[in-house]
Amino acid sequence: MCGIVGVAARSPANQAIYDSLLLLQHRGQDAAGIATSHDQFFNMYKAHGLVRDVFRTRNMRALPGTSGLGQVRYPTAGSSDSVDEAQPFYVNAPFGITFVHNGNLTNWRELREELFRIDRRHINTNSDSEVLLNVFAHELQLASSGVSLDENAVFNAVSAVHRRTKGAYAVIAQIASFGMVAFRDPYGIRPLCLGSLATDNGVEWMVASESVALTGCGYTFVRDIAPGEALLIDLDGNVSSRQCAENPIFTPCVFEYVYFARPDSLMDGVSIYDARLNMGEYLADKVAKNLRLGEIDVVMPIPDSSRPSAMQLASRLGLNYREGFIKNRYVGRTFIMPGQAVRKKSVRQKLSAIDMEFRGKNVLLVDDSIVRGTTSQQIVEMAISAGANKVFFASAAPPVRFPNVYGIDMPTQAELIATGRDTNEVARAIGAAGLVYQDLEDLESSIRDLNPGITQFESSCFNGRYVTGDIDAAYLERLGSTRGNQAASISDDDA
Ligand SMILES: O=P(O)(O)OC[C@H]1O[C@H](OP(=O)(O)OP(=O)(O)O)[C@H](O)[C@@H]1O
Ligand SMILES: NC(=O)CC[C@H](N)C(=O)O
Ligand SMILES: [Mg+2]
């Protein structure tokens, strides 16, 4: 789940891009990059690491220009080792394009083959994003051949991208000496929004994965980009847009609301914070049905993402709410780290228990989700060694039982703790005295209650339904044997 940003400003853009990437850091911790546009040149710098480690003053100085793009990466194709797969990407023809992508294409292997055989384009990495850029570049070449590059050609190229590609993509691209284009796949699986800032020199624009990047940099949130829509910001700052998909069907990723997005973001008309409070409300009702409330002394969140849900659950049930785990603020998010060994080690480095909150008590721990069980297994253990009498567990999301193919790196069923286990068996596997999972219907209602316009969700990791229609057992098997093995080898190396 990468974070992407594009800035079309009236003064140097590098600092605003850097600042917004810091605000999107929770979406990708593996690599960061910025490409700015100055005169007819692009300047680019990308490397492994967190934003604050990647960019030194000298790198920032080498990024002049009033517009540019940035990305923080969480790999879902290729590997985290290759800096060539960090973003932005660049192609020199047609015109010169820099490009950032959040999401994951599901037909990128076929497209790569097609690009080479028919379109005569070579892809030099295993990144699906490089494939997506080359499809866009090829289609832009076709759409502008024999005519001058204009808005029509750009929008026609995006329409062709929608026809050829499958999967999830939120994209921002810069076309040299022409402008910035941003678009979202026809299902709007990954988020993208627009903000503006009035300055003495005119209006500046920012496009970003989450509204927190806009507001944190002083921009005002304008609107979400619609599924299938493309937006063009020309060199004078004029914005135009067009629906480029034939049949857009809004189907946002439910996991953005559960875990990925920051609580202070507004996404597709929904406050993430409010959605998580609602998740706590619904979960509370299920907890009340499944556990004996009189047995619970205290409710605790697992920092950070579960806090709003845990707090709301406790308040609805009239139970005490305490913080029993303290988070080391210098350790990043565990779930998006590459490799199981490093994820496992990080939970211990990241969270420690305050013994006095546990001693002799029956605690209900609340997390936003249980995926591989890395966090919950260790946290229950820590609670018990801190002196807890009984440890119950509640998850604000349903059991994760299916691989994700749209930008969350969980390629195999085998890695998911709920695979082949019912709720009681998962409870035993994580060492909990009782476990309550949210129902999918309630999870979706938590979000839909705040925006009834969302009629369906991309909830494949919970229900195995893949909205793009191209995912079958053979696809998942191939994904597991390629990416799953790769993930396993990362964990071995890191162990
Ligand atoms: O079952 P698992 O495979 O452990 O995955 C689920 C856990 O991972 C995430 O936390 P993370 O540490 O990534 O981030 P957070 O600080 O935002 O909660 C999520 O919030 C759960 O706690
Ligand atoms: N999580 C993402 O959005 C990843 C983007 C792209 N698929 C990559 O692997 O770099
Ligand atoms: Mg967590």
* Residues 224, 286 within the same domain: no
pLDDT value of position 485: 61
Residues with a catalytic annotation lie at 2
ipTM given for this complex? 0.98
Backbone φ and ψ of 175, nearest 5° = -105, 125
pLDDT value of position 377: 95
Nearest atom, ligand 2, residue 408 CA: 1
* Residues 242, 302 within the same domain: no
pLDDT value of position 193: 98
| Three-class DSSP category at 482 | helix
* Residues 172, 299 within the same domain: no
CATH, residue 418: 3.40.50.2020
Question: Is residue 388 within 6 Å of ligand 1 at its C-beta?
Answer: no
- Which residues in 301-311 are b (16+ Cβ under 10 Å) and which e? bbbebbbbbbb
The label of the residue with tokens 């709720």 reads 423
Ligand lying closest to the C-alpha of residue 333: 1
Ligand lying closest to the C-alpha of residue 408: 2
The first and second tokens of residue 444, run together, are 């979706």
* Measured distance CA(247)–CA(108) in Å, rounded: 21
Distance 484 CA to ligand 2 centre (A): 16
Ligand 2 pocket by C-beta < 6 Å: which residues?
Answer: 1-2, 73-78, 85, 101-104, 127-129, 407
* Measured distance CA(134)–CA(456) in Å, rounded: 31
pLDDT value of position 491: 41
* Residues 378, 319 within the same domain: yes
pLDDT value of position 53: 96
* Measured distance CA(114)–CA(467) in Å, rounded: 24
Nearest atom, ligand 1, residue 346 CA: 12
pLDDT tens, position by position, 177-213: 999 999 999 999 999 999 999 999 999 999 999 999 9
Flag residues of the chain having pLDDT under 50: 488-495
Half-sphere exposure of 391 (CA within 13 A, CB side): 28
For 302-421, list the strands marked E by DSSP. 320-321, 325-327, 351-353, 362-367, 390-395
In a domain, 469, yes or no: no
* Residues 63, 156 within the same domain: yes
Distance 373 CA to ligand 3 centre (A): 11
Q: Between the CA of residue 459 and those of 128, 168, 186, 435, what are the distances in Å?
A: 22, 13, 16, 21
pLDDT value of position 66: 97
Half-sphere exposure of 76 (CA within 13 A, CB side): 28
* Measured distance CA(139)–CA(94) in Å, rounded: 10
* Residues 297, 229 within the same domain: no
| Three-class DSSP category at 355 | helix
How many domains does the structure of the chain reveal?
2
Pocket test for ligand 1, best of 27, 259, 351 (most atoms within 8 A of CB): 259
* Residues 223, 323 within the same domain: no
In a domain, 157, yes or no: yes
Nearest atom, ligand 2, residue 75 CA: 9
Instruction: Give the closest residue (by CA) to ligand 1 atom 14.
Output: 333
The label of the residue with tokens 């299920």 reads 286
* Residues 150, 280 within the same domain: no
Distance 176 CA to ligand 1 centre (A): 40
Distance 129 CA to ligand 2 centre (A): 7
Residue 476: what residue type?
Answer: L
pLDDT value of position 486: 60
Query: ∠ CA(394), CA(432), CA(293), 5° rounding?
Result: 55
Q: Between the CA of residue 285 and those of 282, 293, 425, what are the distances in Å?
A: 5, 11, 22
Where a domain ends, among 184, 216, 250? 250
* Residues 348, 424 within the same domain: yes
pLDDT value of position 487: 54
The residue among 177, 173, 102, 190 whose CA lies nearest residue 135 is 173
Determine the straight-line distance between the first and last CA of the chain, rounded to whole angstroms.
Answer: 24
| Three-class DSSP category at 272 | helix
The residue among 150, 123, 152, 147 whose CA lies nearest residue 135 is 123
- Which residues in 369-407 are b (16+ Cβ under 10 Å) and which e? bbbbbbbbbbbbbbbbebebebbbbbbbbbbbbbbbbbb
In a domain, 296, yes or no: yes
Identify the DSSP state of 455. Answer: -
In a domain, 255, yes or no: no
Which residue range(s) make up the domain with 427? 273-443
* Measured distance CA(308)–CA(280) in Å, rounded: 7
Is 367 annotated for ligand binding? yes
* Residues 282, 232 within the same domain: no
Q: In what order do the strands lie in the sheet with 193-199?
A: 41-48, 31-38, 67-73, 3-8, 202-208, 193-199, 220-224
CA 28 to mean position of chain CA atoms: 8
The residue among 10, 39, 37, 72 whose CA lies nearest residue 175 is 37
